[in-house]
Amino acid sequence: MVLSISTKSGWLSKQSFLRNLVAKLRRETSLWIDPAGVMSLVSDLNEEESKYVTQFGDRTERWIDLAQLCVLYGLDDADKYIMRAADCMIGYGWRKDVWIFDVLSAVEMVQKSGKADVRPWLETLAPFIDQITRFTDGDETRHCTKAFGAGCQALQRCLG
Residue type, 121: W
Domain count, the chain: 2
Residues 80 and 132 in one domain: no
Domain check: are 87 and 103 in the same one? no
Burial 33-60 (b: 16+ CB within 10 A, else e): beeeebbebbeebbeebeeeeeebeebb
Q: Is the pTM of this model over 0.85?
A: no
Q: Alpha-carbon distance 22 to 64, whole Å?
A: 10
- Could you list the residue range(s) of the whole structural domain that residue 127 is in? 99-159
Distance separating alpha carbons of residues 1 and 18, to the nearest angstrom? 16
Burial of 17 (0-12, 13-18, 19+ CB in 10 A): middle
Query: What's the one-letter identity of residue 31?
Result: L
* pLDDT tens sequence across 84-133: 888 877 766 555 567 777 788 888 878 877 777 888 888 888 888 888 77
120 and 80 in one domain? no
Claim to verify: residue 27 and residue 79 sit in the same structural domain? yes
From 70, 92, 114, the end of a domain falls on 92
Question: For residues 132 and 127, what is the distance between their CA atoms, to the nearest angstrom?
Answer: 9
67, 114: one domain: no
What are the pLDDT digits (tens) for 33-81? Answer: 778 888 888 888 888 888 887 777 788 888 888 888 888 788 888 888 8
Between CA 19 and CA 9 the distance in angstroms is: 17
